[in-house]
Structure 1
Amino acid sequence: MTDARTTPRGNTAPIGGKQTVQEKIRVRLREPARLRNLELVLLLVAIAISLGAIVLVQLGAIGSLDNGMITLAAIPCVLALVAHVALRVSARDADPFLLPIGLTLNGLGIAMIHRLDIAEDTTGWGGFGVRQIVWTIIAMVLAIAVLALIRNHRVLARYRYIAMFTAIVLLLLPMLPGIGQTINGARLWVAIGPFSFQPGELAKIALAVFFAGYLMTARESLSMMGKKFLWMRFPRGRDLGPILVIWAVAMAVLIFQRDLGTSLLYFGLFLVMIYVATGRGSWIVLGLTLFFGGALIAANTLGYVQGRVNSWLNPFDAALYEQGGGSYQLVQGLFGFANGELIGTGLGLGRPDIVPLAESDYIIPSLGEELGLVGVFAILALYLLFISRGFRIGFAGQDDFGRLLGVGLSFVLALQVFVVIGGVTRVIPLTGLTTPFLAAGGSSLVANWIIVALLLRLSDTVRGEPRGGGDR
């Protein structure tokens, strides 16, 4: 008999020898099957959580079941299973956690939005809950289409300048007269006939593709050239162009579109990607100096920024609490968190509807009231797992473009979650970003599900590449 040992992947091979071709083929066939089987089990759990949350909302709020709403909510669950089958066929090595996490968060968001519709007596086709389900269906269909059309992430690198042009057009659309709309003080929306969308949500994906493609070709000059001061090497003047352009774009969004959160998102995305590309801490120092300098100027010159900072610093000031657009929303959200305590009031049993814009900006306090601190921690854990898997996919890539794209897409979600939850918990000033997968909004859902599809494709490509030993 031949002695055997266990390899890092749990397979056996002769001691001191190499696996035969047949053994390698068997390992290669077994591992994708295990990944997809794990994904299927997690999807079934996600479906149970999503539909169970809607059932609990209805029982808690009205004491009976609305079979029509439950049936409609089951359609995204079916589409998730369709996506699972598509992954078995065209992306067998894809990460098994991303799709179930996305479905779970999306399902919890639908359940809470439906809960708010019940409280405001706006159920049916005119309610936010039904519209959120319809947008989820559209977003998941588009995600499946992205998986079918993009068979290798490197193809996107060829279109980096098209992505740049697309991002610029999307950013400028809300400023055009006739189609641009100002909602809640921010000019972020575009309305064409009965349809409206937020182009900035899609712009973040286009910017991530462009940044990854640009930094792939410029990383040598950005990391090796420049003068050294103290322990840091600072970039040359000619290399400062890109970061100054992005800083100017972020400030333009802040000034003309009156959106603090989106400007922070765009600038933070580029800053992190350029740091990953070059490994130079001087870019972080320079970028943070530019951003905080611009934010300080904005806080002292732009009235709406001053108002948000004042509401953040003094939320319980009676004058700020009572004025329109003051700290009323922030304080009501904090009261909602407090009312939820440790385990929450229970789905359908709280009063999240008394918080303004509870279905969008303040869906986290709504969930915090009915699910409690435990529920909020569970949601944060899901985000943390999703983002960590995305970073893992990015850093495991064998090419610079894939590494930067994976990190960029993951960081977009990470920063968005931090900015939103930090705002509603009074860690930072409140901004107008949406909570990924949870908050009402079709543009956000479409963008986030496309990010899921791109990360799935990227993870499949990364794991399918031959590597020089070790775990793939």
Structure 2
Amino acid sequence: MAAGQQGAIMGFVHRRRRGAELFLLVLALAVGIGAYAAVGLGVEGEVPVDLLGYGGWLAGLVVAAHVVIRFVAPYADPVLLPVVAALNGLGLAVIHRLDLADGSALARQQLTWMTLGVLLFVGTLVVLRDHRVLTRFTYTSGLAAIALLLLPMVPGLGKTVNGAKIWIGVGPFSFQPGEVAKVLLVVAFAGYLVLHRDALALAGRRVLFVDLPRGRDLGPILAMWLISLGILVLQRDLGSSLLFFGLFLVMLYVATERPGWLVVGGAMFFGGAGLLYYVSVTTGQLSHIQNRVNIWLDPMAYFDQSPGSGQLVESLFGMAWGGLLGRGFGEGNPERIPYAESDFIIGAIGEELGLTGVIAVLLLYGLIVERALRAALISRDGFGKLMATGLAAVFALQVFVVVGGVTRLIPLTGLTTPFLSYGGSSLVANWVIVALVLRVSDLARRPVPSVGDDATDVAADAETTQVVRLS
């Protein structure tokens, strides 16, 4: 790279853009509060009596998050928080719509979980001033993630919900430890790959214009493959299995820039899943795998069975009835979809807001992934690049498997839709993920310190001078 070009890059300074963030937050609040008011008008014919209290609480949460960002992460990405606030507000409105249909109060509980999520969001930004500190906990995070994934298998502690054994129960409370495990796995994978990416990037045998990895380097991916298949078999959760293995595969590819890992990883996952399906068909064991595939291939044939395809069929008919623009809040029947507030909230949105509403939601998710990848691209350290990439992959994979299952693109998985679906552990974990992305973004967008101003910080990050090589 020419010295002039490098000097121009090092001399470029990002603007803080907190004013733009505040303006976008006003629009996001208009979406959330406006949707809540529209639900009241559509279902009950009047504005909800608690609109001021609800709107004030929602506004207080996002404005508090904005103020904290101004003080502790002033250079962070200005788009992420407004997009997340819009999704969370829309999700609360849709859950409230379903509450009015069946007499429950899940929206109030979800608002409580959002409050806890914002508190942890603030705590993460205040306590974690430099994401590179997390490299000290690479193996600790990995062991903690494995322990959390095993918790639902502990007798007396694990709970089976809708056929998946991914919950633990403590008194009246339920918790999904896999939601925390996915954050810890990103930290563990990023720390591990920063240290070993050079060895993993070495090419082995070349097959059909693709350089496959060396056999001696297959240990980590074999371990993750076995863990993902174990989740599929023992916990009956296709979504988490695909999410964790796909996450490792994406981060491995980004770290090594070797397409061979994608070929090997894809063959391993689909080969293992196909083998398990063959075992389920021929031996009668693992019937849940065969059931998911059968429902995916022909949902109408299993409508009246248990477990059957009633949830999927009701969602498909609802979305078809919604059409392009939707029926409008209160004009559809999304309550016919079992667990519409959690697994199938996209189906409820498709029925009352139509294809247009679903596309708008997907675009918001696309913005989250794009901003996280942008933070990874401009990050000046390898760990930050991989961590931001991994967190972007978490959102991308989770939305893909959820929406793919609801629209019958892939078999049903059971994951929640980030920020939209009802579920405390998922909502809280996703707010922490956003805080981590903002921390990486803040450090990446800050002016590069000169050696004279802060020699210690520059010396602590040997990769700072390689700002373009890994971008």
TM-score (ref. length: structure 1) = 0.90
| Partner AA of 2:240 in structure 1 | T
**Aligned positions of 1:311-330 closer than 5 A:** 311-317=295-301, 320-330=302-312
Residue 439 of structure 1 deviates from its aligned partner by 0.3
Distance between the aligned counterparts of 1:141 and 1:234, measured in 2? 45
Q: How does 1:376-387 map to 2 (within 5 A)?
A: 376-387=358-369
TM-score where L is the length of structure 2: 0.90
Match of 2:256 among 278, 281, 289: 278
Which residue is equivalent to 1:262?
Answer: 240
Separation of aligned partners in 2, 1:229 and 1:344 = 49
Kindly tell me: are residues 169 and 74 of structure 1, through their superposed partners in 2, closer, same or farther at Cα, counting changes over 3 Å? Answer: farther
Distance 1:435 1:273 in 2: 22
Verify: 1:411 aligned to 2:393, yes or no.
Answer: yes
Q: How many residues align?
A: 439
- In 2, Cα distance between equivalents of 1:430 and 1:453: 29
Which of 218, 225, 234 aligns to 2:196? It is 218
Deviation at 1:67, TM superposition (A): 2.9
Matches within 5 A, 1:314-393: 314-317=298-301, 320-393=302-375
Q: Confirm or deny that 1:172 pairs with 2:167.
A: no
Q: SS in structure 1 opposite 2:342?
A: coil
How far did residue 73 of structure 1 move?
A: 5.0
Alignment of 1:296-307 (within 5 A): 296-300=274-278, 301=280, 302-307=286-291
The ranges of structure 1 where at least 4 consecutive aligned residues each deviate by more than 6 angstroms after the TM superposition are 467-470
In structure 1, distance between residues paired with 2:376 and 2:109: 33
Which residue of the other structure, out of 175, 195, 212, is the alignment partner of 1:234?
212
Instruction: Say which SS state the counterpart of residue 348 (structure 1) adopts.
Output: coil
Give the aligned partner of residue 170 of structure 2. Answer: 192
Aligned residue for 2:267, secondary structure, equals helix
How big is the shift at 1:230? 4.8
1:21-54 deviation per Cα after TM superposition (whole angstroms, max 9, x unaligned): xxx8xx95x921xx10100000011111101111
Q: CA RMSD in A?
A: 1.8
Residue 230 to residue 422, structure 1, CA distance change in 2 (3 Å): closer
Match for residue 292 of structure 2 among 304, 308, 312: 308
SS at match of 2:15: helix
Deviation per residue, 1:75-118 (Å, 9 max, x gap): 23211111111111111110011000001001111000010010
Of the three residues 92, 107, 131, the one matched with 2:109 is 131
Q: Deviations over 1:442-462 (max 9, x none)?
A: 010011101110011110011
Q: For 1:143, which of 114, 117, 121 is the aligned residue?
A: 121
Contact 1:76 1:140 in 2 (8 A): no
Aligned equivalent of 1:11: none
Letter in 2 for 1:115: R
What residue in structure 1 maps to residue 89 of structure 2? 107
Superposition deviation, residue 258 in structure 1: 0.5
**What's the CA shift for 1:70?**
5.0
1:461 maps to 2:439: no
Deviation sequence 1:308-348 (CA, Å, 0-9, x none): 1111111122xx11112212111110111011111111122
Q: Is the 8 A contact 1:337 1:372 kept in 2?
A: yes
Secondary structure in 2 matching 1:67: coil
**Residue 31 of structure 2 aligns to which amino acid in structure 1?**
I
Q: Could you give the per-residue CA deviations for residues 235-275 of structure 1, whole angstroms, max 9, x where no partner exists?
A: 23331111010001101100110000000000000000000
SS in 2 for 1:31: coil
* Counterpart residue type for residue 166 of structure 1: A
Cα deviation, residue 64, structure 1 = 2.5
**Residue 47 (structure 1) aligned with residue 38 (structure 2):** no
Aligned partner of 1:394 in structure 2 is 376
Query: Is the contact made by 2:38 and 2:47 (CA closer than 8 Å) also made in structure 1?
Result: no
> Alpha-carbon deviations, 1:144-165, whole Å to 9, x = none?
1000011111111111111111
Measured against aligned partners, the alpha-carbon deviations of 1:5-29 in whole angstroms (never above 9, x if no partner) come to xxxxxxxxxxxxx99xxxx8xx95x
Distance in 1 between residues matched to 2:254 and 2:426, nearest whole Å: 26
Change (3 A) 1:432 1:72: same
Structure 1 gaps of 5+ residues are 1-17
Q: Which one-letter code corresponds to 1:81 in the other structure? A: V
Residue in 1 aligned with 2:15? 31
Supply the distance in 2 between the matched residues of 1:420 and 1:162 (Cα, whole angstroms). 30
C-alpha spacing 1:360/1:113, structure 2 compared with 1 (3 Å)? same
Letter in 2 for 1:48: A
| Residues in 2 aligned to 1:448 and 1:53: alpha-carbon distance in whole angstroms | 22
